C-alpha cells in the first residue's frame, strides 16, 4: 500500500515538474522611441534603448519635425524619408546582437543621435 502511494506521488511530482519547465515561447516585442521630446527638445526619447534579438524599434514622430532615422552604411535599417506629421512612424526589426548608432539627418548637429543595443 505504501509503495503504491509513493508511486502515485512521484508520478504527480513528474507532472508538476513538466508543467513548470514548459517555458513560454519568447515573444518579440516592439519598443517605441519618440522623435523629439515632449518638451520640444531635438532628441530621441529614449536616446539609448536595449532590446533582444528579434525585437522591433518603432520611431514615432513627436515634436520639432522633420526627422528621420539613419544608420551609417545601412540602408536596410535606415529610414531616410523625412516625417513631418506627429504620429508618423518607422519600424526596424533587429535580428543580430550588437550596438547600432543612429541619428536624425536634419538635427545630427544639434545632438539628435541614438543607440540601439541588441542583446
Q: What amino acid positions are annotated as catalytic residues?
A: 67, 104, 107, 112
- Least distance in Å: CB of 33 to Cu ion? 12
Nearer to Cu ion, 70 or 104 (CB): 104
Residue in the shown chain whose Cβ atom is closest to Cu ion: 104
Cα angle 90, 116, 98 (rounded to 5 degrees) comes to 125
- Between strands 89-93 and 30-35, the pairing is unpaired
> Which of positions 74-113 make contact with Cu ion (CB under 5 A)?
104, 107, 112
DSSP states of 14-72? HHHHHHHH-PPPPPP-EEEEEES-TT--SSEESSEEEE-TT-EEEEEE-SS--EEEB-T
Per-residue binder mask for Cu ion (CB under 5 A), 3-42, x = binder: ----------------------------------------
Choose one: 11-19, 65-73, 78-86, 92-100; the region binding Cu ion (CB under 5 A).
Answer: 65-73
Amino acid at each position: 500500500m505504501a509503495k503504491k502511494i509513493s508511486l502515485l506521488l512521484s508520478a504527480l511530482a513528474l507532472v508538476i515538474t513538466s508543467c513548470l519547465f514548459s517555458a513560454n515561447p519568447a515573444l518579440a516585442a516592439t519598443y517605441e522611441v519618440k522623435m523629439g521630446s515632449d518638451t520640444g527638445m531635438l532628441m530621441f526619447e529614449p536616446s539609448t534603448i536595449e532590446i533582444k534579438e528579434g525585437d522591433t524599434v518603432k520611431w514615432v514622430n513627436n515634436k520639432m519635425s522633420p526627422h528621420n532615422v539613419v544608420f551609417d552604411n545601412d540602408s536596410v535599417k535606415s529610414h531616410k524619408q523625412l516625417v513631418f506629421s506627429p504620429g508618423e512612424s518607422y519600424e526596424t526589426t533587429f535580428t543580430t546582437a550588437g550596438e547600432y548608432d543612429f541619428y536624425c539627418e536634419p538635427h545630427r548637429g544639434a545632438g539628435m543621435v541614438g543607440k540601439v543595443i541588441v542583446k
